[in-house]
């Protein structure tokens, strides 16, 4: 696979690459660069983490990229997830590893790092302090959205350490690429900005989309591109809103019922979660999408690309309910191996029951 083919695969998986020229130079220098991905372990796995993220990782791995997966247990503790119970948080982390393996991620190409191991290192805290001295309090507070909080939601001083810690993670892990969602962009840009002055490698930042919740959003309220990006982050699928969230343990019937209620106005593509799942998940996992319709409505049709689907839907030639049913079927097909793993494997089932029993806290 040549460099341009690799760039094309990565571009197809990303909403933003900062910068493409730097990525090209990196791929020319290293056949197997290291990327970092990570998340706070909390609650049951949903579509973004249990289906979408594995699909993206598999895409990146095709290009030779290897991953360090950071299970941000100490961040979840700081953020008060699961009542700040580190033992519960770690159990959820182990559960998520089961999810990813069941979803088909080649874990031999993934180095799992528990953040608590970094947290207990004096060398790491030296980096945290150096990062903290390299930017202002105002910049820290602007970055708090990476923790899923706004400035006025900070309850403890420890939460103000979050941005400096996340940037220090990049340097401590020694990665070439930060591969995270758009909601983590502010921390990644801060890392890029201060890395040269601190003598660290400036990472390439690759940001993927935040999957919309089933309630989507109206694009009419977006004043400009920046406002649109913020709105996409605000409207992301959240485990704290189970009615607008699809979990990897949902049955086929549950998925179909949730999708039936999804925001999907006729002819509207932007802010439409059903169209987004088709673009980001269905056509990433399958070569085509079959939409079954009664003969009197034109009969079954096969969409061989997202571009073709978008054109037909925007023209009003595909009914929203027909689209919902088709996409729901594909999502169920992708979720089924994960769901079955936790139903049939005794150890995985026990882990799932433990996580299911934890009280979800923000």
Q: What is the pLDDT of residues 68-125, one digit of tens each?
A: 999 999 999 988 888 889 999 999 999 999 999 999 998 888 999 999 998 888 899 9
In a domain, 106, yes or no: yes
Q: Are residues 184 and 248 in the same domain?
A: no
Q: Please, what is the average pLDDT of the chain?
A: 91
Domain count, the chain: 2
pLDDT beyond 90 at 24: yes
Nearest to 328 by CA among 256, 254, 249: 256
Q: For residue range 191-232, what is the model confidence (pLDDT) as tens digits?
A: 999 999 999 999 999 999 999 999 998 765 555 666 666 777
In whole angstroms, what separates CA 130 from the centre of its chain? 29
Chosen domain end from 208, 243, 259: 208
Q: Are residues 86 and 156 in the same domain?
A: yes
The pLDDT-based confidence of 362 (bands split at 50, 70, 90) is very low
How many Cα atoms are found within 13 Å in the side-chain-facing hemisphere of 117? 8
Q: Are residues 254 and 351 in the same domain?
A: yes
Looking at the chain, the whole-number percentage of residues with pLDDT higher than 90 is 74
Q: What is the C-alpha to C-alpha distance for residues 206 and 204, in angstroms, rounded to an integer?
A: 7
CATH of the domain at 225: 1.10.240.10
**Alpha-carbon radius of gyration of the chain:** 21
CATH of the domain at 121: 3.40.50.620
pLDDT beyond 50 at 333: yes
Query: Which range is least confidently modeled, 133-137, 171-175, 327-331?
Result: 133-137
Q: What's the confidence (pLDDT) of residue 232?
A: 73
pLDDT beyond 50 at 15: yes
In whole angstroms, what separates CA 172 from the centre of its chain? 22
Domain that residue 298 falls in: 219-357
Q: Are residues 106 and 9 in the same domain?
A: yes
Chosen domain end from 208, 227, 246: 208
pLDDT beyond 60 at 361: no
Nearest to 55 by CA among 337, 340, 351: 337
Q: Are residues 183 and 278 in the same domain?
A: no
Q: Are residues 189 and 43 in the same domain?
A: yes
Q: Stretch 235-259: mean pLDDT, rounded? A: 92
Chosen domain end from 208, 229, 249: 208
């Amino acid at each position: 696979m040549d460099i341009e083919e690799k760039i094309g695969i990565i571009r197809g998986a990303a909403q933003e690459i900062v910068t493409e020229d730097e990525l090209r130079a990196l791929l020319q220098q290293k056949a197997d660069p290291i990327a970092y991905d990570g998340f706070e372990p909390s609650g049951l796995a949903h579509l973004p983490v249990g289906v979408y993220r594995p699909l993206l990782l598999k895409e990146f791995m095709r290009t030779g990229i290897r991953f360090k997966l950071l299970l941000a247990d100490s961040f979840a503790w700081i953020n008060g997830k699961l009542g700040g119970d580190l033992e519960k948080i770690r159990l959820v982390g182990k559960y998520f590893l089961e999810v990813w393996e069941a979803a088909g991620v080649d874990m031999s190409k993934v180095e799992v790092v528990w953040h608590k191991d970094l947290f207990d290192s004096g060398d790491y805290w030296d980096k945290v302090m150096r990062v903290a001295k390299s930017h202002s309090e105002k910049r820290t507070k602007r970055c708090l959205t990476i923790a899923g909080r706004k400035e006025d939601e900070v309850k403890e001083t420890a939460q103000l350490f979050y941005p400096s810690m996340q940037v220090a993670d990049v340097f401590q892990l020694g990665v070439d690429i930060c591969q995270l969602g758009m909601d983590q962009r502010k921390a990644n840009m801060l890392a890029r900005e201060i890395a040269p002055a601190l003598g660290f490698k400036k990472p390439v930042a690759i940001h993927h989309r935040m999957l919309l919740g089933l309630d989507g959003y109206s694009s009419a309220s977006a004043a400009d591109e920046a406002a649109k990006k913020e709105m996409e982050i605000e409207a992301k699928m959240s485990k704290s809103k189970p009615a607008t969230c699809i979990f990897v343990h949902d049955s086929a019937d549950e998925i179909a019922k949730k999708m039936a209620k999804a925001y999907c106005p006729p002819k509207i593509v932007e802010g439409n979660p059903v169209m987004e799942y088709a673009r980001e998940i269905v056509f990433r996992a399958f070569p085509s999408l079959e939409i079954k319709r009664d003969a009197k409505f034109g009969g079954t049709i096969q969409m061989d690309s997202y571009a073709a689907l978008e054109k037909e839907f925007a023209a009003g030639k595909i009914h929203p309910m027909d689209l919902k049913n088709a996409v729901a079927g594909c999502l169920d097909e992708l979720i089924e191996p994960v769901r079955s793993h936790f139903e049939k494997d005794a150890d995985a089932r026990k882990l799932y029951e433990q996580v299911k029993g934890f009280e979800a806290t923000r």
